[in-house]
Structure 1
Amino acid sequence: MTKALYFDCFSGISGDMTLGALLDLGLSLDELRRELAKLNLSGWKIAARQEMRGYISGTRALVDAPEQHHHRHLADIRLIIESSTLSERVKAQSMHIFRLLADAEAKVHGLSPDEVHFHEVGALDAIIDIVGTAIGLELLEIDEVFASPLPLGSGWIQAAHGWLPLPAPATLNLLAEAGAPTVPDTLRTELVTPTGAAILAALATFERPSLRLQGVGYGLGMRELERPNVLRVWLGERLPPEGEERPEEHHHHHHHR
């Protein structure tokens, strides 16, 4: 049976909301820390806290990773990930996410992906969010990832180099590259961050699958908005869509014709 995870992004998605949702689903914080320790990086901590957003209780992932002074490039991140003792699957997924993020940021600034300074992105907290997500999916034994349409707010955000229009340009580039479905949202706030967009662009199919549900997790966003600022994930066994043969039987017939 295929284990699938559906990202129900009614209030968008960020890296820490993703980690919070996986922890809420039952990912062990100790196991997550033990795997993250395989990155040869110091200066970060991760904790989890039960909190409320609106009337909904869930898990907030608290990643404590102070701004560092040396800005990393994609090559630095590749070195950190490749030289770790993490599994091949976690390394590949993490690098895929970072690669898409670098491409999207590069396009915003008119640079090549290798020239991009990861101030927003190669900041230590993004490394923990992204590699932590790949680790969480592996520990929860998720085979496939799906996602809902993404709500996009408007307004402005203060970034490292000044003001940027929302959705952030890098976020929009990532969603365009992935052909992601988007829906307008009246909130004048950032609902989908570049890290959140990169995780889905790299790993998700944008549709709601048929699932036999086994669990639900709520990952809390940092801010309290006028609606519950949470990311909901549905965990379940993938069911074949109504009226379709099982894919296994399908292949089976073809081989013997």
Structure 2
Amino acid sequence: MRTLYFDCFSGISGDMVIGALIDAGADPLQMEEELKKLNIDEEYSLSWGKVVKNGITSTKFDVILTSKSEQPHEHSHSHGHEHSHSHGHEHSHSHGHEHSHSHETEPNHSHAPHNHHGSRTYKQIVEAINEANLNESVTNMSLAIFKKIGEAEGHIHGLPLDKVHFHEVGAVDSIIDIIGAAILIDQLGIESVQSSAIPTGSGHIHIDHGVYPVPAPATLEILKGVPIASNVIRSELATPTGAAIAAVLAGKFGTLPAMTVESIGYGAGTKTFENHPNVLRIIIGDIQ
């Protein structure tokens, strides 16, 4: 059985997942074409390339917003990771979401479905996925991951699912991360997914609502039932998007299973830690 294993020794975020999948041999150009079915491709461009993290060559994936805002979109690289994904939980400056140009500062998107804060409702995201004519496997994976995050956000904010507004996850880059990851996993013919325990990091982060502990409330809610690994790094290592991808897709959490390894991929996060490569490793192989 063709199995993908998430080795989350430095946490997990949506863009780290995509970087690792590309690094392992998935085709990002096919993903880019499939994503056009969402009809939001005027809002972003994608970039990926090799970077070295503490001696490990890995692939960094970025979503660059092309919104007509008062700020040049280059800020997504220069300081964007200090902004949260608006709602903040995807504040993941820790690594990944790192493309994270906060939509809070970009009110002038012209493309629906979207309000002036760059948020989309859960209903709008579900409709967009269902109307995109993606294949059934990609559609189902994407909807399940969004539902996991939507339920967590709703629980924390005291809202039913149909009233949940996604600020961070409604942001274009997070939509791309989730659906893009589903496209690449489907493309690679993955039949089962396993994962290590998820280190969340520690410390505090600044998000829209104030100073929050790490893991952020949404991330912790998403990781209910998932083994969390201890980690001394004082930074946010797992983002809601990354946590939800692992929580939804992994059928089993534990150490690397016995497998014949076929390919390995390293996906880079934005932050660099002094004694620790900030990458997600994925291992793809056959389990007898």
**TM-score (normalizing by structure 2):** 0.79
Distance in 2 (CA, whole Å) between partners of 1:163 and 1:45 is: 31
Structure of higher CA gyration radius: 1
Q: Which residue is equivalent to 1:10? A: 9
Q: Which amino acid aligns with 1:11?
A: S
1:135 pairs, out of 183, 190, 194, with 183
Q: Which residue of 1 aligns with 2:277?
A: 228
Which structure 1 segments of 5+ residues have no match?
240-257
Q: Which moved more, 1:158-167 or 1:22-31?
A: 158-167
Q: Which residue does 1:121 correspond to in 2?
A: 169
1:181-220 aligned within 5 A: 181-204=227-250, 205-207=252-254, 208-220=256-268
Amino acid at match of 1:59: T
1:96-151 CA-to-partner distances (Å, cap 9, x unmatched) read 00000001111111222222221111111110000000000011111111100111
Q: Deviations over 1:42-71 (max 9, x none)?
A: 311111110011111100001113535422
Instruction: Percent identity, please.
Output: 44
Runs of 5+ in structure 2 lacking a partner? 68-102, 108-114
Residue 54 in structure 1 maps to residue 54 in structure 2: yes
Q: TM-score w.r.t. structure 1 length?
A: 0.89
Q: How many residues align?
A: 236
Shift of 1:160: 2.8
Report the equivalent of 2:31: 32
Of residues 31-40 and 18-27 in structure 1, the stretch that sits farther from structure 2 once superposed is 31-40
Which amino acid in the other structure matches residue 160 of structure 1? D
Query: Shift of residue 201 of structure 1?
Result: 1.0
SS of equivalent residue, structure 2 residue 237: coil
1:144 aligns with 2:143: no
Shift of 1:152: 2.2
Q: Give the conservation status (yes or no) of the 8 Å contact 1:29–1:47.
A: no
Partners of 2:62 and 2:283 in 1: CA distance:
22
Where in structure 1 do 4 or more consecutive aligned residues deviate above 6 Å? Answer: none
Measured against aligned partners, the alpha-carbon deviations of 1:148-206 in whole angstroms (never above 9, x if no partner) come to 01112111112233222100111111111xx1111211111000000000001111021
Shift of 1:209: 2.2
Counterpart mapping for 1:72-111 below 5 A? 72-111=120-159
